Amino acid sequence: MFYSIKAQFIEEKMKEFYQKLTDGTIENQKPDGNEILSSMKRAKIMSPGTIQWSEMCFCPTPLKHERQTVYDKFFSNMEILTIDGYKEFEGASFFEYLSKLE
């Protein structure tokens, strides 16, 4: 299934999140690490502190494992909607934003 996710990011944790995205910690997580990394590269800043992205997940509960292992540590107020496929959103690149925090 494909999902559209909108969430608020926890600003004070974004340096740690970017480090985990770029040092292989998240990418090497099974079974969903590659999808999380790809999703964050697709994510766009919709308004200050809020991002949106699309993601594929096969959990019976949408993003259950991803939330338990990654997302709930770095995001709040997640809104998850079912969509037909990957969707590109308009906005500034969240990944580029993260890369400038160092």
The pLDDT value given to residue 48 = 96
Q: Please give the residue range of the domain that contains residue 37.
A: 2-99
Kindly provide the b/e burial profile for residues 20-31, where b requires at least 16 CB atoms within 10 angstroms of the residue's own CB. Answer: bbeeeebeebee
In this prediction the pTM is 0.94
**Statement: residue 102 has pLDDT above 80:** no
Which of these, 55, 23, 28, 43, lies nearest to 95 by C-alpha position? 43
Share the mean pLDDT of the chain. Answer: 96
Q: What's the total number of domains in the chain?
A: 1
pLDDT range class, residue 21, cuts 50, 70, 90: very high
